[in-house]
Structure 1
Amino acid sequence: MMRDAMTLAFTMLGGGMAAILILMLVAKLTGRVNVEEKQGRKPVYNIQAEVKGKRTLVEADPENPNIPKTRYFLTFHKRDGIRLEMEVPGEDYGLAAEGDEGILVYSKGDEFIVFKRT
């Protein structure tokens, strides 16, 4: 009798934990889908632009303060006279040179996507 009660208790506990894990997984996946869906709705702009400047910012990595982290920025000059400074991946920074002209693709909030030289 006591053994049956313990078996039942452990079975219920295990089933409850499995249900909690499944619910946590579903919540995590649902949240990720919502974020990706919101990001997918941002308008994307394609404009003629020229690279006017380059700069870097070296700071401590928040996860490991002993390791420096370099952030890369390009300044673009749009044809309407407005300048945009955007953080870009290191590879795009390395390939860009002041005076390069092309199509700047970015999303609302000045989030850099790509710069295509023409």
Structure 2
Amino acid sequence: MFMEPNFLGTIFPLFFMLVIGLILFQVIRGIGEWSNNNKQPVLTVNAKIVSKRTKISRHSHASGNGHHHHSTSTTYFVTFEVESGDRMELRVSGKEYGLLAEGDVGRVTFQGTRYHGFERVASM
């Protein structure tokens, strides 16, 4: 007699393990970046802001009563060019993003990939 495999009993645990694995991967990666940043010196260097960008993430949350709630979050990035010509993109707060403009020249303070601040200098 032909027996049909129990796909729901097989696929659901695999899908659940995949989701848990992805969450754990993100947490471990975040802890690694945080730890690596803590080991780096805090540096302040002359820089120019060469670009700004945003990343918008959309989230959907299901509630117990069958309704879906949608939300978005925005991540802000600024690219700095240092005197050597190297560029680095740092994540900044929304407030900082609004205060900074492309073409601004000054001194950026950072620690690894962690942004600490930017101080404009008067252009000549």
TM over 0.5: yes
Partner in structure 2 of residue 114 of structure 1: 117
| Identity value in percent | 32
2:61 paired with 1:58: no
Contact 2:80 2:89 in 1 (8 A): yes
How far residue 63 of structure 1 moved from its aligned partner, in angstroms, is 7.7
Question: 1:91 aligns to what SS in structure 2?
Answer: helix
Q: In 1, Cα distance between the equivalents of 2:60 and 2:111?
A: 26
TM-score by length of 2: 0.58
Contact 2:78 2:91 in 1 (8 A): yes
Structure ID, larger Rg: 1
Tell me the amino acid that sits aligned with residue 49 of structure 1. Answer: A
Structure richer in helix, relative to its length:
1
Aligned in 2, Cα 1:96/1:68: closer, same or farther, shift over 3 Å? same
Number of aligned pairs? 82
Structure 1's consecutive aligned runs of 4 or more residues displaced over 6 angstroms after TM superposition are: 62-65
Give the gaps of 5 or more residues in structure 1.
Answer: 1-37
Matches within 5 A, 1:23-62: 42-61=40-59
Partner in structure 1 of residue 9 of structure 2: none
2:98 paired with 1:94: yes
Give the gaps of 5 or more residues in structure 2.
Answer: 1-35, 63-68
RMSD of aligned Cα (Å): 2.6
TM-score by length of 1: 0.61
Partner in structure 2 of residue 71 of structure 1: 75
